[in-house]
Amino acid sequence: GQSLEQPSEVTAVEGAIVQINCTYQTSGFYGLSWYQQHDGGAPTFLSYNGLDGLEETGRFSSFLSRSDSYGYLLLQELQMKDSASYFCARNTNAGKSTFGDGTTLTVKP
């Protein structure tokens, strides 16, 4: 994804907290989404930020700062099953999404 940047890999241990950052180009920006994808599977929606601030959904939270063109996904109480790829996606008001290159999260015992 040429218009978003996120780290390629992150490693953490079970029970820990991990933050995956995402910076994006502002042209046509409407909101930022986060998706999880396990190997061989389709992406599943995690969270969306249309306004600045924090959105909390269980163990996952997402944050957006429009002035900084920056957002992050926060995963708490990490579990082994959280090992997957995480994508931030920039949404336009037409509903089109452009995906980042993804961050591979490895959770270790």
Partner 1 sequence: GAVVSQHPSRVICKSGTSVKIECRSLDFQATTMFWYRQFPKQSLMLMATSNEGSKATYEQGVEKDKFLINHASLTLSTLTVTSAHPEDSSFYICSARVRGTVTEAFFGQGTRLTVV
Helix (H, G, I), strand (E, B) or coil at 80: helix
Candidate residues 31, 70, 74, 83; the one interacting with partner 1 per rule CB under 8 A: 31
Q: Rg of the Cα trace of the chain?
A: 13
Vertex 77 angle, CA 72 and 83, to 5°: 70
Neighbours of 95 (CB within 10 A): 7
Candidate residues 3, 19, 21, 98; the one interacting with partner 1 per rule CB under 8 A: 98
Pairing of strands 103-108, 9-13: parallel
Candidate residues 24, 71, 73, 97; the one interacting with partner 1 per rule CB under 8 A: 97
| Local structure of residue 82 (DSSP, 8 states) | G
Does residue number 30 form part of the binding site for partner 1 (CB under 8 A)? yes
Does residue number 62 form part of the binding site for partner 1 (CB under 8 A)? no
CB of 1 to partner 1, least distance (A): 5
| Local structure of residue 83 (DSSP, 8 states) | -
Per CB under 8 A, the segment of 13-21, 37-45, 60-68, 71-79 that binds partner 1 is 37-45
Does residue number 38 form part of the binding site for partner 1 (CB under 8 A)? no
Q: Which residues bind partner 1 (CB under 8 A)?
A: 1, 30-31, 33, 41-45, 48, 50, 87, 91-102
